[in-house]
Amino acid sequence: MSPRAHNPSARWTWCGRCEHRGYLTRGDAKAVRKRHHGEKGMAVFPCPHTEGLFHVGHRPDALSSGEIDRGLLRHQAVQAAAGRWSS
Ligand SMILES: [Zn+2]
């Protein structure tokens, strides 16, 4: 019985490809995102390298415009995760 088992933010595995935390379910990632109060544009997106892994990061600017395809979106998400996410 570990209290950490009920804490979604404790259930993550390091993604060496993105150099970023990866959550095992989209729900966990969303729960973690909720903790970032006041953080606009935080997005949950699937890891482009590892099946079944989800990352939380800043939503790429182009997403709101809907003018980019999903492949480019993933690329930008990885760039954002690698470059702007420091914690
Ligand atoms: Zn990843």
Using one digit for the tens of pLDDT, what is the confidence trace for 43-59? 899 999 999 999 998 76
Query: Encoding tokens for residue 12?
Result: 């993550």
Which domain does 34 fall in, by range? 3-83
Question: Residues of the chain whose pLDDT is less than 70?
Answer: 1-6, 37-39, 59-73, 84-87
User: pLDDT averaged over the chain?
Assistant: 77
Q: Separation of 67 CA from ligand 1 center, angstroms?
A: 24
Dist. CA 4 → ligand 1 center (Å):
23
Q: What is the DSSP letter of 6?
A: G
Give the angle subtended at the CA of 83 by the CAs of 30 and 68, to the nearest 5°: 70
**Ligand 1 centroid – CA 69 distance (Å):** 19
Give the number of domains in the chain: 1
CA 11 to centroid of ligand 1, rounded, Å:
15
CA of 18 to the centre of ligand 1 (A): 4
Q: In 3-state terms, the chain is what percent helix, strand and coil (to 5)?
A: 40, 20, 40
